Amino acid sequence: MKSMKRTQQPLRHYHGAAKGLHWLMALLIAGLIPLGLYMHELPLSPQKLQLYSWHKWAGVTVFMLLLVRLATRIAFPPPPLPSQISRLQQQAAHAGHLALYGLMLAIPLSGWLMSSAKGFQTVWFGLLPIPDLIGKDKALGELLAEVHELLNWTLVAVLAAHVGAALKHHWIDRDGVLARMLPAHRPDITREKTS
């Protein structure tokens, strides 16, 4: 009869570049959403136009960082989830990440299209003009504004689920999933594996 013994295997972490991009983008998105809600309700003024410019600059930056992040993900694939996590939870995590990447791509694109349709060219940081994707079309611009808002509320819901799942893994399951993405990881975090 083969004996069962418990061995410790170090929990693998995300690559440093992936961690840096994750937290930088998280900070930008955490600022973009409330800024978008706040500026939308302001009356037309130079301040509102400035806030719109900042919002668009940050949105373009998130889009560019996403492209770098996708390249980083290909170059440095994410570590596998701990083996004790059920297949259903792993599939949910994968679907959640796909939704986040899709929304981080769709939201800046919808904003870019909306600005183009409304006749407001984006000039990144006031220096680099970004070409309009479509011609001026007021009705289409209003429709794209609704699409942009809907996508952002969807992102808020998916982010809430993402953060909730990360905290569940950290505080309830205590399986080290969140620690894999923390900037300063503890080398003593391990996972148990039976052989």
Per-residue pLDDT tens for 90-144?
999 999 999 999 999 999 999 999 999 999 988 899 899 999 999 999 999 999 9
Identify the structural domains of the chain with CATH numbers, from first to last. Answer: 11-79+89-183 (1.20.950.20)
Which pTM does this prediction carry? 0.84
Q: If DSSP states are collapsed to H, E and C, what string results for the chain?
A: CCCCCEEEEECCCCCHHHHHHHHHHHHHHHHHHHHHHHHHCCCCCHHHHHHHHHHHHHHHHHHHHHHHHHHHHHHCCCCCCCCCCCHHHHHHHHHHHHHHHHHHHHHHHHHHHHHHHHCCCEEECCCEEECCCCCCCHHHHHHHHHHHHHHHHHHHHHHHHHHHHHHHHHHHHCCCCHHHHCCCCCCCCEEEEEC
pLDDT band at residue 175 using 50, 70 and 90 as cut-offs: confident
Per-residue pLDDT tens for 59-89?
999 999 999 999 999 999 999 988 888 999 9
- In this predicted structure, the answer to whether residue 13 has a pLDDT above a threshold of 60 is yes
